[in-house]
Amino acid sequence: MTMSTQGLNERKTESGATLLEFTFVAVTFFMMLLAITAGANLYFTHNALVEATRRGARFAATQAASNPAGTTTACSSDEINSGPSLTAIRNFAVYGNAAGTGPALVSGLQPSNINVRYCSFGVGTGTVSVYVTGFNYNLVIPFISKQIVMPENRTTVRGESAGTFPEDCSP
């Protein structure tokens, strides 16, 4: 009988150690899980910004860069954010429509983050670049909260219709 009492006393003294070990392992596990989730959200946001520039560039390739539509534009480094369709292009990149209605496709993205640059742009010639600058991502991991300035995302496509209609299709 002394033997069973001695084994029972040893188990009672170790019962707190198991709870303490579980606490350390569980806290570490859940912090790692949250960090992985935050990293996945950061990656998703990066891909969504790239998609916003792609969408805006495809839309810009079909819009007029000058008045009258189809006139070939110049290509200089200071010629950004100009043209009659600038607001529509920015709205299309951010909201998915030219009117700028509905929620932003990327949380926190504003039309002011979108820049448009035409280079020798005309019907079937030149290029248009749409890029995102100054977008801040809020990374939140337990005990770590940091604002990350996302890198510039740029998409460049060739000119297409440049806002013109063929003679036989014009309204």
Q: What is the mean pLDDT of the chain?
A: 82
Comparing 89 with 84, the larger pLDDT belongs to 89
The per-residue DSSP string of 81-114 comes to S-STTHHHHHHHHHHSSTT--S--SSTT--GGGE
Q: In this predicted structure, what is the pLDDT of residue 139?
A: 86
pLDDT digits (tens, 9 = 90+) for 34-88: 889 988 999 999 999 999 999 999 998 888 777 666 566 777 666 677 777 889 9
Q: Compute CA 66 distance to the chain's CA centroid, rounded to the nearest angstrom.
A: 29
Compute the average pLDDT of residues 87-116.
92
pLDDT digits (tens, 9 = 90+) for 125-153: 888 899 999 999 988 877 788 899 999 99
With CA atoms as reference, report the closest residue to 57 among 159, 163, 171: 159
**Contact, 73 vs 66, CB < 8 A?**
yes
Domain range for 38? 2-169
pLDDT grade for 113, boundaries at 50, 70 and 90: very high
Q: In this predicted structure, what is the pLDDT of residue 26?
A: 93
Specify the length of the chain in residues: 171
Does the predicted model carry a pTM greater than 0.85?
no
Q: In this predicted structure, what is the pLDDT of residue 9?
A: 59
> 159 pLDDT exceeds 90?
no
Lowest mean pLDDT among 12-21, 49-58, 95-104, 108-117: 12-21
Number of domains composing the chain: 1
